[in-house]
Amino acid sequence: MVEYTTVDGARVGILMGSASDWPTMKKASETLEQFSVLHECNAISAHRNPERLQKYLSEAEKRGVELFICAAGGAAHLAGVVAAHTEKPVLGCPMQAWSLDGLDSLLSTVQMPKGMPVATFAIGGAGAINAAIFAVQMLAMGDSSLKTALSAFRDDQSSAVTILE
């Protein structure tokens, strides 16, 4: 049985607690694509697939995945559990999920105990996109072509702000 998807040369692993998170996390994937950053996307729940998650993480690190973007909603433990299993940076995306407008997910993701960081982003699509951009910023520290692409992206954003008449 295939337990998860892998991509040769992936530098980023996007994980989500459920396929129901995909419409939001697709935005993170599209953002990485925009920068031609190879990545792989998987729904592996910290609660429903604990062994699969552990296996994925140990194999992903060996294959060279450099950081993980983790999305979950409700009792959103995925990012924290991933942080417990890897020394790679973990970026957390709280999902809006089914109640409390995602405040539950935000607090579950952000309130990590000291010594075990999860860089936590905004609830929903903006957070998913920003997590991907932040991942690109980290990867760009050792990658001059990514650095150039990021500068162009920032310039485009500046030009897109219109002046009110």
83 scored as a contact of ligand RP5 (CB under 6 A): no
User: What's the closest the beta carbon of residue 156 comes to ligand RP5, in angstroms?
Assistant: 31
The dihedral region occupied by 148, where left means phi > 0, alpha psi between -120 and 50, and beta the remainder, is alpha
Query: How many contiguous H segments (helices) and E segments (strands) does the chain have?
Result: 6, 5
In terms of DSSP H, where are the helices of the chain?
22-34, 50-63, 78-85, 103-110, 125-140, 144-160
Q: Answer yes or no whether residue 21 interacts with ligand RP5 by CB under 6 A.
A: yes
**Residues across the chain:** 165
The piece of 17-25, 86-94, 106-114, 115-123 that touches ligand RP5 (CB under 6 A) is: 17-25
73 binds ligand RP5 (CB under 6 A): yes
To ligand RP5, the closest distance from the beta carbon of 42 in angstroms equals 12
Contact residues for ligand RP5, defined by CB under 6 A: 16-18, 20-21, 45, 72-74, 95, 97
